[in-house]
Chain A
């Protein structure tokens, strides 16, 4: 048997995004994907349409269509001038009508592409494009449960129809991915786009986004043959960890599977697997892609939708600057690193907070260069804000500090009237206060002491301290690195209020090196 010389990975993605319209896709009941729904009890977001009661009819929620158009436009898709609704028929207890209203041959969005943002390293960015085949709207199903809320086991299945009828956008990419990193990067970028467009909160744990990668490998054998392993579709991945894990697992496993069974890609060879988070492995669900006949046909209860140019352009005009474009702008204009820019565009609210902060700084300090304002604001938020947000389990924008207050700290730092550790402390204090940065800094004695008399006294005290004798000797002898200990000593004495630069200068002058 020929040996495998090299393995190439091929991945295409299907992504389901629950659109956060206020009401469901075809009726006026509140949608669980909308923040207003909160944590509804089972089977409370229901009405005759959701339950498919006899005589109920669907009426399209225009907001769902416009959200789909927004995402499509963000992914540079064409928007269909004529689109319609089709019934996809199959029986399952979580599907009330026994058909799902979907879009079969004329999806609302098609033929798009997306430039992958560079991975979050500081390597030079490489441009990699992912083709978007289509994005269509459909309604979600209910949920079948096998235990009671609370976890009690029962001998039967129960259904919660809260989710039924929630608008879902299904985005299908070309099989353009050759590594798991890019898939995850794309997934995260798409989530951010959805957040910026306000079409989804993008909370993975709540199922706002679900991924279904189609994975196979191309094996080059030492006898020159090229073998394609059968395509495996992984269902319903709702975390980036699972997405990465499943792809990496299949990448490693498919060549081994081929060695065992010799099966190659071809009609009927496709299988469906699920991801077992505990085992860290994919698990077979369905061996052969059943030749399932969904008997699609146009839904006669709904009228086709014509999207004219005026409507399409009106929707386009609502597109905000998207996170990946903002990221690039931050790197170009503020000289932020990829990592910094990514951290600031990851959340819509943080991003807006950052931009407001930059604006205030520039108003406050008219002489400051834009690049410096951006960099300073980024430093403040990422150095002092990120760790606090992390501890508090909230966003930087939710810490309680305002962009004006952050700008105040920047202003104090810029004028050297506050030291680095005092700035950190001040940041913390401002999270709890509405007062100006200057007022709080003064009240809390955080302003730097530049008064040379006071500084001199502290410097003399440190030089005289026997514990510092060695350091004093070293500095006098030209080992300038030893000065750090002495500066630190003065800072400690001053309770952080001394101007470190001035202290250093004074020490150098006194110790004559």
Chain B
């Protein structure tokens, strides 16, 4: 393939480029087969095509077309002048960033009216690492306000639609990033995962999404929802792309006290090597009768793949999965009530107009009532209540105890000593059901919270998790909707996690399926 001249067969070329994986695109840019500028143009054109309008996906809150092209051309210039080896591992790869990560360009809204016009003076460490690796930031993606939700319906900027069926949700809260990758608007995206906010939308949109170990990726510049649970992670259409992105964003950062100073993973290099005699634990709780039939089927299909690859399937018991949601919905709102207290209308963000004779309390309460949506307000109230004197022990302390039990449960199944089953990874569905309809659960917070049933435990335990596409469900209305399965691995074993996920992907090949868009 020779480098195309501008304008020539642009449409056909664009379709091809948007189908490239991040690694393919990077290699093509390095080799001169294509250019970073064309890759950026192709993605921007795709965004133009499918994201806006009444029935658009609405994955992006804002895009930076000029800046993206400018940055891309700089990459091309470097490839031409200094050589392909001088550009980073993501040279020219367009990426989408969830809009709760700070970027010193454009706005950082968190999907909230509170920060509708907020511009951050600094860039999040994880985002900066992508940029330093040569990635081109296309724009900021939609999310449930302040990452609180499982459907990306709770955004001040309107819901994001599932590229597989635009009447359905893409999951959330990183629904914009998931949809952007699924709909070929970007080969890579960053999301954040506090209770499943990467893995659940990855499952519902048919892409790969990973939540690294707590402490792996710096949280500097990630607008905090629940500090002890939040973790940034990548979306991609292949496990290899996600592995590469992990290598780029992981690593110690002295600006985040909870960042762990350990050697960065080398997932990209390891991902293709299958693990010999892999021990895959399947909790009996994963075979829940409430699972959608397609979800149950996908799980068995994944088990089959592992068996065919010589892995050993181990039946395990993780009884504390049952405590997960309850503990999570105390701890996360408690931290959120405190983290979001800074949005008071005093220094930045939305400030309500108050009369000359109204007091400070009016300024606070009106600004917050105007700035925050219903779900955010609900969680602030839940968390404030849980931390109140007289209730603290009954709720917060108890939830911390449950969290410790969840952690110990995982420690036990990963351990070999003490008669532990010593599994390498744990396999479960990503979500109990495929994507639901927009509005279906909007008025039923409890049903919405159960979306995180399979994912929250990884956040509570601080372990790594990844969702891999594992099938398409035929829904009542004839729509075909993706389902994903999820793997967990012990803290700081991302290489193992990516290798196990790659084995599954190679045996399933669902990531080749494209949404009808």
Contacts and interface: CB of A to CB of B under 8 A. Distances in A.
B103 to A, nearest CB: 10
B388 A295 contact: yes
Contact of B334 (A56, A97, A293, A297): A297
Contacts of B256: 57, 59
B338 A87 contact: yes
A57 B219 contact: yes
A55 interface: yes
Interface string B329-350: 0000011001001101011100
Nearest to A97: B342
Interface size class of A (residues with CB under 8 A): 20 to 34
B507 to A, nearest CB: 39
A159 interface: yes
B342 A96 contact: yes
A300 interface: yes
Contacts of B335: 300
B114 to A, nearest CB: 9
B110 A91 contact: no
A99 B347 contact: no
A301 interface: yes
A318 to B, nearest CB: 25
B121 interface: yes
A303 interface: yes
B312 interface: no
A295 B387 contact: yes
Contacts of A97: 341-342
Q: Which of A58, A159, A295, A302 has the most CB of B within 10 A?
A: A295
Given A55-B223, A98-B342, A301 B122 contact: no
A93 B346 contact: yes
B257 A301 contact: yes
A89 B257 contact: no
A53 B348 contact: yes
A51 B102 contact: no
B122 A55 contact: yes
Q: Shortest 9 CB-CB distances between A and B: which pairs? A: A98-B341, A300-B227, A300-B228, A295-B387, A54-B223, A55-B221, A55-B102, A52-B342, A97-B342
A54 B120 contact: yes
Q: Which of A51, A58, A59, A92 has the most CB of B within 10 A?
A: A59
B42 interface: no
Contacts of B227: 300-301
B50 interface: no
A431 interface: no
11 contacts: A51-B347, A53-B348, A54-B110, A57-B224, A59-B255, A89-B338, A99-B338, A293-B389, A300-B226, A300-B227, A300-B258
B394 interface: no
A159 B346 CA distance: 9
A127 B389 CA distance: 42
B255 A57 contact: yes
Interface in A395-436: none
Given A54-B108, A295-B384, A297-B334, A302 B389 contact: no
Contacts of B224: 54-55, 57, 301
Main secondary structure of the interface of A (DSSP, over half): loop
Interface string B172-199: 0000000000000000000000000000
B396 interface: yes
B485 interface: no
A116 B334 CA distance: 45
A54 B258 contact: no
Contacts of A300: 226-228, 258, 335
A53 B255 CA distance: 14
A303 B261 CA distance: 13
A301 B389 contact: no
B254 interface: yes
Interface string B447-491: 000000000000000000000000000000000000000000000
Contacts of A48: 121-122
Given A295-B387, A297-B396, 8 more contacts: A53-B120, A53-B121, A54-B118, A55-B108, A55-B122, A57-B224, A57-B255, A89-B387
Contacts of B122: 48, 53, 55
Interface string A43-69: 000001001111111111000000000
B220 interface: yes
Contacts of A96: 342, 347
Nearest to A28: B255
B351 to A, nearest CB: 11
Given A51-B347, A159-B346, A300-B227, A89 B120 contact: no
A98 B344 CA distance: 8
A55 B220 contact: yes
Contacts of B338: 87, 89, 99, 295, 297
Contacts of A99: 338, 341
Contacts of B384: 295
Nearest to B385: A295
Q: Which of B221, B338, B360 has the most CB of A within 10 A?
A: B338
Nearest to A293: B389
Contacts of B226: 300
